[in-house]
Amino acid sequence: GENVEQHPSTLSVQEGDSAVIKCTYSDSASNYFPWYKQELGKRPQLIIDIRSNVGEKKDQRIAVTLNKTAKHFSLHITETQPEDSAVYFCAGAGSGGGADGLTFGKGTHLIIQP
């Protein structure tokens, strides 16, 4: 089955700086890679996703890049703000013909320093 590795486990950046979180996956048949933000005690929120037919996707301050050859994808957050502080999870899926769930990484605790 799919295995998703995520780094770093904790990331501290100054407010206004950029943050990058990286993930690798094992199953070359996976074709869908979402990112979720989870605040303490809250539900995971889908913030951006990418499918394997594109290499990059942007939504305001957030972007995701995908390198299918190397089997890795990254989340980029620019101009970080205090409200970006949360745990971020990457995930992969899609190799099971649609009849499977997401495989998540272990999460990155992003801390925005004022």
How far apart are the C-alpha atoms of 18 and 55, rounded to whole Å? Answer: 20
Is residue 9 within 8 A of residue 56, CB to CB? The reply is no
Classify strands 108-113 and 10-14 as parallel, antiparallel or unpaired: parallel
Stretch 32-91 residues interacting with other proteins (CB under 8 A): 32, 34, 36, 42-46, 49, 51, 89, 91
Minimum distance from residue 35 beta carbon to other proteins (Å): 12
Pull the structure tokens for residue 63.
């972007």
| Nearest residue (CB) to other proteins, 63 versus 102 | 102
Q: Two tokens at 32?
A: 């869908």
In the sheet that holds 56-59, the strands lie side by side as 4-7, 19-25, 72-77, 62-67, 56-59
Q: Is 24 in the site for other proteins (CB under 8 A)?
A: no
Select from 86, 105, 110, 112 the one that contacts other proteins (CB under 8 A): 105
- Considering only 50, 86, 93, 112, the residue that binds other proteins (CB under 8 A) is 93
> Residues interacting with other proteins, by CB under 8 A?
6, 32, 34, 36, 42-46, 49, 51, 89, 91, 93-94, 96, 98-107
